[in-house]
């Protein structure tokens, strides 16, 4: 038995003899520098919860008529109320979509819960481990050849079969190896097509000294490495990735362009293209309206979705994003001109080499700027960086709440059905208070605004689905203005307590920031508090977004009603002191000073 610590980078599962095997991918630090490890866990089983119609025992009997592993009676809280549920353990994650409808159709089954949680996400939550943090595993080292799911001949790869607990280790983690890449294609006919247009350059930049353009043409430019053909170029790229073993590889639009393009060209040229840790092919995972390129075991981050989330711009080209982040313009060669630069050779070709490297370097710089906050978000939300980097902020909030719910033994609400979603969408609801601006040029303006109005209201009025009073009650409560809703003062609701914890944690970190003199420490703490702020900011919408599991029409209405109440009262109060509001919106207003006090 060995005990190994490593930085958890990626997670998935494979099937061995019909049984699921969770694979934790990471890099060991310290003892053996930067060496890859795959830890296998065969002991984790998928499960869902069943709400029994009335008698749990007859429900259990019915469920056992289906091919399930085990059914257990468990206590869980559902919207704050203790309930007895049935935990139905299944043999395989894919049994969940296969059996859930059959289970739901049973006459003794009232409802099913937590039936759409991807297996690897379930694992991370139930084990209490976080990607981008260090974990400690204990188990047997295995010979790579004896593991069917791993087909690489990387001699440095360590494989361990977990036998016992997986522990989260709290502590700082060292800087990770980050490499960016970018390809250029010879495309005389407009947008490149992989069955026609060859790759002419692959550029790389990194934080470990590697900076290079691999190409089939020669150059006096020192960074250019010339290879004989496109096949060799692709092979060289994958060799470098596998040799250097970067923790994170980044590109710009690499999910839907660069990586699939290289992969398609490799297929056409009938050569392998393997940059994964386990020797598997590049996978394209469909994520709604787009795809993610996955090289198993490595973290591939496409910066494009990150920038879309992070900045509000008219366009999101690398040039535009770079300019916004660094305040300097970068040289650009128009896409439809690239083949001309390539064909004409000479000075133009040299310019193309420079441009290509510059794109990789720019992408790297963007990554350096954006990865810290995404790593922090990963550590707070507890899902893989590759997922976090592609998630909309609403999804982040949802997965954060899902983990929190698990921690306090709350059963997770189901996702709204298509019907429920469109029903919610159809409802119009009153938002913040807006006072149309008084026309004219005003002098002596004062601005007034509430700092995080909605979260403060959620916390102070304890607005949560589990504190909403639906029937008669003799408990102490807060009464919302305008809308007919009341919320218990005690106990603290699920959402208010989560938002409260977030804001409290942020204050703690901000205080630590003030205390420390170490600039590096300060910077790290600053990123942490920024991540908490980002998440807290996106939590305001939980009750009003139609797709949310924690959607609550009543809570959303109450939050905005209180918001309107606060701002209107504050405006009225200000008038007593001689201020006349000339414009107001949601959480603040502008006023002129008239000098006329009332009373």
Residues near DNA (CB under 7 A) are: 13, 46-48, 93-94, 96-97, 114-120, 122, 182-185, 187, 190-192, 252-253, 256-258, 285-290, 304, 315-319, 334-336, 338, 359, 387, 391-392, 394-395, 547
Give CA–CA dist 386/124, Å, rounded.
Answer: 14
Give CA–CA dist 413/10, Å, rounded.
Answer: 27
Question: In what helix (H) or strand (E) does residue 508 lie, and over which residues does it extend?
Answer: helix 494-515
- Bridge partners (DSSP) of residue 135 are 6, 168
Min CB(429)–DNA separation in Å: 15
Phi, psi at residue 334, to the nearest 5°? -60, 140
Given the structure tokens 């003892």, which residue do they identify? 31
Give CA–CA dist 395/402, Å, rounded.
Answer: 10
Residue 448 CB-density burial (10 A; 0-12 exposed, 13-18 middle, 19+ buried): middle
Q: What is the DSSP string of 268-324?
A: HTT-----SSSSPPPEEEEETTEEEEE-TTSEEEEHHHHHHHH---S---HHHHHHH
Min CB(75)–DNA separation in Å: 19
Contact of 300 with 280, CB cutoff 8 Å: no
Which residues have C-beta within 8 Å of that of residue 14, sequence separation ≥ 6? 20, 21, 23, 149
Given the structure tokens 């468990």, which residue do they identify? 74
Which structure tokens are listed for 157? 């790869």
80 closest CA partner among 542, 545, 474, 492: 492
Contact of 381 with 404, CB cutoff 8 Å: no
Min CB(532)–DNA separation in Å: 22
Give CA–CA dist 594/86, Å, rounded.
Answer: 66
Nearer to DNA, 335 or 491 (CB): 335
Give CA–CA dist 503/31, Å, rounded.
Answer: 38
Min CB(30)–DNA separation in Å: 32
Contact of 112 with 39, CB cutoff 8 Å: no
Which structure tokens are listed for 446? 């004062």
Residue 47 CB-density burial (10 A; 0-12 exposed, 13-18 middle, 19+ buried): buried
Nearer to DNA, 108 or 387 (CB): 387
Min CB(92)–DNA separation in Å: 8
Min CB(159)–DNA separation in Å: 22
Nearer to DNA, 19 or 576 (CB): 19
Nearer to DNA, 141 or 313 (CB): 313
Min CB(300)–DNA separation in Å: 14
- Bridge partners (DSSP) of residue 13 are 22
Nearer to DNA, 27 or 187 (CB): 187
Give CA–CA dist 159/40, Å, rounded.
Answer: 8
The number of angstroms, rounded, from the C-alpha of 423 to the middle of its chain's C-alpha atoms is 27
Nearer to DNA, 187 or 560 (CB): 187
Min CB(565)–DNA separation in Å: 27
Residue 560 CB-density burial (10 A; 0-12 exposed, 13-18 middle, 19+ buried): buried
Contact of 535 with 502, CB cutoff 8 Å: yes
Min CB(341)–DNA separation in Å: 10
Give CA–CA dist 525/529, Å, rounded.
Answer: 6
Contact of 487 with 461, CB cutoff 8 Å: yes
Which structure tokens are listed for 164? 């016992």
Min CB(90)–DNA separation in Å: 8
Min CB(65)–DNA separation in Å: 20
Three-state SS at 69: coil
Min CB(157)–DNA separation in Å: 24
**How many beta carbons lie within 10 A of that of residue 265, not counting itself?**
22
Nearer to DNA, 48 or 137 (CB): 48
Min CB(294)–DNA separation in Å: 8
Min CB(346)–DNA separation in Å: 19
Nearer to DNA, 159 or 338 (CB): 338
Which structure tokens are listed for 330? 């970068």
Give CA–CA dist 258/355, Å, rounded.
Answer: 16
Nearer to DNA, 337 or 596 (CB): 337
Nearer to DNA, 252 or 551 (CB): 252
Contact of 468 with 487, CB cutoff 8 Å: yes
Nearer to DNA, 402 or 555 (CB): 402
Nearer to DNA, 420 or 565 (CB): 420
Q: At what angle do helices 519-539 and 346-381 cross, to 10 degrees?
A: 70
Min CB(182)–DNA separation in Å: 5
């Amino acid at each position: 038995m060995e005990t190994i610590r490593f930085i958890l980078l990626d997670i998935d599962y494979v099937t061995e003899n019909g049984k699921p095997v969770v694979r934790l991918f990471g890099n060991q630090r310290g003892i053996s520098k930067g060496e890859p490890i795959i830890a296998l866990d065969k002991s984790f089983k998928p499960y869902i919860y069943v709400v029994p119609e009335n008698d749990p025992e007859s429900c259990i009997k019915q469920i056992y008529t289906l091919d399930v592993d085990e059914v257990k009676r468990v206590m869980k809280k559902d919207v704050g109320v203790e309930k007895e549920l049935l935990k139905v353990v299944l043999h395989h994650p894919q049994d969940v979509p296969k059996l859930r409808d059959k289970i739901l159709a049973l006459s003794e089954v009232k409802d099913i819960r937590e039936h759409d949680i991807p297996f690897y996400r379930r694992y991370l939550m139930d084990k209490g481990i976080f990607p981008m943090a260090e974990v400690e595993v204990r188990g047997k080292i295995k010979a790579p050849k004896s593991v069917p799911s791993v087909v690489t001949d990387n001699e440095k790869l360590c494989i361990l079969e977990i036998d016992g607990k997986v522990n989260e280790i709290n502590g700082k983690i060292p800087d990770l190896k980050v490499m960016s890449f970018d390809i250029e294609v010879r495309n005389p006919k407009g947008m490149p097509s992989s069955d026609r247009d060859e790759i002419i350059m692959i550029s790389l930049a990194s934080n470990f000294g590697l900076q290079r353009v691999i190409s089939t043409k020669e150059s006096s430019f020192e960074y250019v490495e010339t290879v004989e053909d496109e096949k060799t170029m692709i092979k060289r790229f994958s060799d470098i990735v596998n040799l250097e073993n970067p923790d994170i590889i980044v590109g710009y639009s690499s999910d839907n362009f660069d990586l699939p393009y290289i992969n398609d060209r490799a297929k056409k040229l009938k050569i392998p293209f393997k940059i994964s840790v386990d020797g598997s092919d590049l996978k394209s995972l469909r994520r709604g309206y787009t795809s993610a390129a996955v090289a198993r075991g490595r973290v591939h981050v496409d910066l494009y979705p990150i920038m879309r989330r992070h900045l509000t711009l008219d366009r999101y080209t690398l040039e535009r994003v770079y300019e916004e982040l660094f305040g300097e313009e970068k040289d650009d060669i128009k896409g439809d001109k690239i083949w001309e630069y390539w064909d004409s050779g000479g000075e133009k070709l040299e310019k193309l080499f420079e441009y290509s490297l510059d794109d990789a370097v720019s992408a790297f710089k963007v990554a350096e700027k954006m990865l810290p906050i995404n790593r922090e978000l990963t550590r707070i939300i507890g899902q893989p960086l590759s997922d976090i980097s592609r998630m909309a902020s609403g999804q982040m909030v949802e997965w954060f709440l899902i983990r929190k719910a698990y921690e306090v033994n709350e059963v997770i609400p189901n996702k709204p059905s298509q019907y429920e979603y469109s029903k919610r969408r159809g409802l119009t609801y009153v938002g913040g208070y807006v006072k149309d601006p008084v026309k004219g040029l005003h002098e002596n303006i004062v601005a007034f605004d509430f700092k995080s109005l909605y979260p403060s209201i959620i916390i102070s009025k304890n607005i949560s689905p589990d504190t909403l009073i639906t029937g008669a009650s003799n408990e102490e409560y807060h009464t919302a203005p305008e809308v007919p809703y009341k919320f218990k003062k005690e106990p603290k609701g699920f959402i208010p307590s989560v938002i409260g914890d977030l804001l409290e944690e942020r204050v703690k970190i901000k205080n630590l920031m003030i205390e420390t003199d170490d600039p590096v420490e300060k910077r790290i703490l600053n990123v942490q508090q920024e991540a908490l702020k980002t998440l807290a900011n996106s939590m305001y919408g939980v009750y009003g977004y139609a797709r949310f599991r924690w959607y609550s029409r009543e809570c959303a209405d109450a939050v905005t009603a209180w918001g309107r109440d606060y701002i209107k009262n504050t405006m009225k109060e200000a008038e007593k002191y001689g201020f006349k509001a000339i414009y107001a919106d949601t959480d603040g207003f502008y006023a002129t000073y008239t000098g006329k006090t009332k009373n």
